Every structure is written in C-alpha cells, then in structure tokens.
Amino acid sequence: MIRFVLSRVLQSLVALAILSVVVFILARATGDPLHLILPMSASEEDYAYARRYLGLDRPYVEQYFSFVGKAVTGDFGTSLRARRPVSELIRERLPNSLRLALFAMCVSLSFAFPLGVLAAVKKGTWIDRTAQVIAVLGQSLPTFWVAIVLVEFVAGRLQWLPAGGISGFASYILPGFTLGWFVVAGMMRLLRSGMLEVLDSEYVKLARVKGVVERRVVWLHALKNALIPVVTFAGIYFAILVTTAIVVETVFAWPGLGRLAYEGISSRDFPVIQAVVLTTAAIVAVVNLGVDLLYAVIDPRIRHAR
Amino acid sequence: MRVDPMEGVTALPVAEPRPWGRLRAGGLPVIPLGIITTFVLIAILAPLISPADPEEQSLRNRFRPPVWDERGSWQHPLGTDRLGRDMLSRIFYGSRVSLTAGVVTVLLASAFGAAVGLVAGYYGGRVDAVLMRLTDATMSFPVILLALILAVTVGPSFANVVVAIAVILWARYARVIRGQVLTLMELDFIAQARIAGAGAWRVISRHLLPNTLNTLVVLVTLQIGYVIIVEASLSFLGAGIPPPTPAWGSMIAEGREFVTSAWWVSFFPGLAILLVVLAFNLLGDWLRDTLDPKLRQL
C-alpha cells in the first residue's frame, strides 16, 4: 500500500512539473512581456534595465527554476493589472471558488444519487425515462446559456434570487445549480449502469433469496459496489467543475478563481494566468490523488495491480 | 425416400454477428440523424438559403423581434441583433463554425489518441508507462484554461480553438484504446499473428485497430457534442472564433447585455447549440448501445 501511495504521489508531482513547463513556455511564447509592462515611451536602456531587474536576461533554464522555486513557496510575482501580489489575489478568490464548487458538488450528488439508483431499480418505467432525459439534457445544454437564461428569468423577471456576486446563501443557488447540473448527468448515468450491473449479480440475488429486505438490498448491498465507478470518475468531474466555473463565475460575477482567470486573460496579465492555471491544476491533482487512494481502499484489486 | 437435410431449417445460426449488421437491425434513431442532417445541409447551403448577408449591418433595423412578435417581419424571421444583422442568417453561418470545429477537433484528437493508445498497449512496459503518465498529465489540464492561454498568446482563431481542444482531448482516446488493446493482446489471434511473423505495424494496423474501431466510433460521436459546447464556451469568453464571423457562442455573448430587452439574440443561438449537441449525444448513446454495450462509462 505504501508503495502504491508513493508512486501515485510521484505521478502527481511529475504531472504538475510537466504542466509548469508548459505554462512557462506559453507565457514566454507571447513575445516580450516587457512590452506590456513598460510604457510606450520607454527607451532601450529602460528595457535593458527592466530585463536585468526582472531576471529576463538570464538563461531560460535558470528562469524556469527560479519561477518554480518561487511558485512552490506561493510567490507568483505581481499582477500587472492590479499591481498587487498575485498570491494575495489568489488567497482572496480561492475560498469563494471552493465554496461554490463544494455547493455545486452537493447539488450534483443530491440529484444524481436518488435519480441514478431509482432509474436502475425502476428500469424501463417513466422514472427511468425521465432520468435519462434529464441526463442527456444536462450534457447537451451549454452552461453559459443556462446561466444567462436563469439570470434573466429567475433573477431578472421573477426577482426570486440575486443575479450575481456573493451576498449570503441565496446567491449560491443560481451559480451552484448551473455548475452542478452539468455534472448530474454523467454521475447519474454511471450510477445507473453500475447499479444495473450489480443488481444482476449473484450476491445480490443471494441476498434476496436469504430474505433481505429489498430496500436494504438496493441501498446497502448494491449501492456500495455501484459506487466504485462513480468514485473513479469523481476526479474528472471535479476537473470539469473547475473548468466550467470559469464560464459560470463570469456570467454570475462571482469573485472566484475562474473569473480571476478570465480577467487575467482579457488584460494579458501573465503572472495571474500562470498562478491560476498552476493553482487549479494543483487542486485537480490533489483531488485526483485523493480519489485514487480512496479507490484503492474501496477496491483492493487496484493497489495490487501492475 | 430422400430427406432434405435442410428441411425445416429456416436460418442458420451466425457464429459472430458482424457489428455493422447490428446497426441495421436496431432501427435507426431517426430524430437525431434528422437533426444532424438538417444542420449539415444548412452549413453547406448557408450562402444559398440565408435570407441576408450574416455580416451586413443596418443600424436602423437594430433589435427587430422575431416574426411572430407584432413588430417583427418576414424579412428577419428570427429578428436582428444589436447591429441590425439578420439572426437567422447568422445562425445558418454559425453552424459552419460549430460543426467544422466539432468534427475536425475530434478527428485530430482521436487519430492521435488512438495511435498513442495502440502503441502503448502493444509495446507495454516502459513505453506504456511513459505514455500513460503523459496521458494522465494531459487529462488533468483544464481544456478551457489552455485554450484561453493560447487565445491570449497567439491570438484567437479557429485553428487555435481546434488545436487547444485537440491537444487535451486525445488523452481520453489514448486511455480507452490502450485499455482495449491490453485485453486484445491476451487473445489467441494476436499471438497467432505474431507467431506467423507479423511485425508490430501489421499487428497494430491489421489486427488491433480494426477491433477498436467500434469504440472509436462511439467515442467520436459522443465527443463531437462536447467539443461543440467547449468551442461555444470559448467563443462566449472571447477566446474562440473572432468577430465578425458568426459563431453561436459569441452570438450568445453579444446578446447577453440585452437579454432583458431583446431575449432572442441570445436565445436562438443557444437553442441551436442545444439541438445539435443533443442530436450527437443521442446518436452516440444509440451507437454505444448497439455497437458496444460494455462501454457504458463513456
């Protein structure tokens, strides 16, 4: 088990390292960042001085290691637009994003679970068909469009809920549902197919023959094993949530990481973009790592494989 | 008395039904195919069937409502946007962007991903380990973030959108195909081919690839819808196809500020996306159930 944990941690670190190289190269591929920092009237000497000052005259390899060294300690430089340390911006925005993601995840789970299980148990009935329709719609609706429609009708015309920003629990509902909706579909389908498979298995039949109450068979015996694929995909769902959040946060004016990325990109604020991409990837990597470890605990075959 | 050995036998059992034979047996999903065909025709015939030039502005005709509104007219069946451009024509032309982006991206990603998956699964060992680590690293990268970075660094363009999405999407194919190849490699016919002296290229192209095609077809169909949504999200964020080229995502973005007074500007492009993506997802589901019922997780 220890070997499995170590190799998984190492894998995540390698993935992050590759990512940091990509981000570093892309940030330099834009051309001279000094064009963005210095005023139009800057002279050749100003450029030379700024280059030395920012360490841009050093070899790329050296620049990369200094970038990574600082990034590890949380130092991502200064935002070109806000003129504040990027780490400060991240610390301000990250909790908002995490809270929204958590809320969205709760929304997804509270819909996906009952729907997935019921669809499998009542296979072929109207419940199953409704669940299927919800699933395929969830995967086909463009999130940002749903967001706009919700803002217009629920927040604008009906005035039931706030349209944007954070102001108490009510402001979580619209962005949370918009974000969570997309994930409900995939999760529900996984749960349904998992349940169908498990309900057909020998040990469930045995449990029934032994006279275990049906409710207990479904919610205890079957669900436990149908959960395995759902857990495996939880990491991917989380990555989807994080990505979709960029769009949702933009529409709902949510002061989170996604909107910070959007703002950074529209003002070509490189330190911010680097920081957001790396922070996001690190979070996704940690979640994936956690999921894999959890997976190995649930299903011992995994840790003994390969 | 001679007895006909075939007497009473109406059909001989088929040993292994050919997968494409099952396609005809299952009854085609008419609605999804109909929607896709319609939109493909619209994309091809856009210049012929559009009532107006999609980029022609007419400030006097701004925000004309759709025809069923009392202020609407047949001149602009779905109304006009903030620059007085005809919505219907823009949606027609926008289908070109969405469909091409979807199909081209997915073909690129699947070709590369399948190649990686085939090689990793065939050679195994260290080659497999390296390729799979690369695949995992790629999968953990949020697509939209990469596309946004590319849009800022190289400038927004159709090619960038396609590349940015394909660069991430291939990993999905590599994963799934590798998994299938690993199971195939255990089977006798591969071992026999190798004993008969077939080289790596021959085993991969003649034996492994054809046996993963069903999975590829299912995955490609399901992913086209996903790519169309991602492309639209990017255009919505201003990192997709630059204006004035009509793209559904950027049309929704343009109408966003006026959604209270002119809802149709954002509504119809969104409806178009919903219809096309829904059709591809339904078709993909049906293909999966017909060709490869084991692939429920895709």
Over pLDDT 90: what percentage of chain B? 19
| Secondary structure of residue A78 in the 3-state scheme | strand
With contact defined as beta carbons under 8 Å apart, do B64 and B71 qualify? Answer: yes
Contacts of A246 in chain B (CB under 8 A): 144-145, 148, 237
In angstroms, the Cα distances linking A46 to A35, A36, A37, A39, A272 are 11, 13, 11, 10, 24
Contacts of B282 in chain A (CB under 8 A): 136
Q: What is the pLDDT of residues A103-127, one digit of tens each?
A: 888 888 888 888 888 888 888 788 8
Helices (H), A222-269: 223-251, 257-266
With contact defined as beta carbons under 8 Å apart, do A243 and B144 qualify? Answer: yes
pLDDT reading at B22 higher than 60: no
Structure token pair of residue A207: 């449990």
pLDDT tier for residue B100 given thresholds of 50, 70 and 90: very high
Element holding B208 (H helix, E strand): none
Ordered structural domains, chain B, with CATH: 29-36+72-295 (1.10.3720.10)
Binary contact (A23, B149; C-beta < 8 A): yes
Q: Which of B87, B93, B52 is nearest to B268 (CA)?
A: B87
Q: What is the mean pLDDT of residues B56-65?
A: 80
CA atoms of A247 and A155, how far apart (whole Å)? 18
Contacts of A276 in chain B (CB under 8 A): 145
Q: What is the DSSP letter of B61?
A: G
Q: What is the pLDDT of residues B117-142, one digit of tens each?
A: 999 988 888 888 888 888 877 776 77
Query: How high does pLDDT run on average in chain A?
Result: 80
In angstroms, the Cα distances linking B23 to A60, A124, A170, B5, B29 are 55, 22, 49, 32, 10
pLDDT reading at B46 higher than 60: yes
Nearest to A288 among B140, B153, B226 (CB): B140
CA atoms of A185 and A139, how far apart (whole Å)? 6
pLDDT reading at A17 higher than 60: yes
Q: What is the pLDDT of residues B235-253, one digit of tens each?
A: 888 888 887 888 888 888 8
Interface A-B: count of C-beta contacts within 8 A: 131
| Secondary structure of residue A267 in the 3-state scheme | coil
What pTM was computed for the model? Answer: 0.81
Q: Which of A47, A7, A57, A80 is nearest to A274 (CA)?
A: A80
Q: What ipTM score was computed for the predicted complex, to two decimals?
A: 0.77
Helices (H), B125-208: 125-139, 143-154, 158-185, 188-195, 200-202
Nearest to A268 among B152, B237, B256 (CB): B152
Cis amide linkage into residue B244, ω under 30° from 0: yes
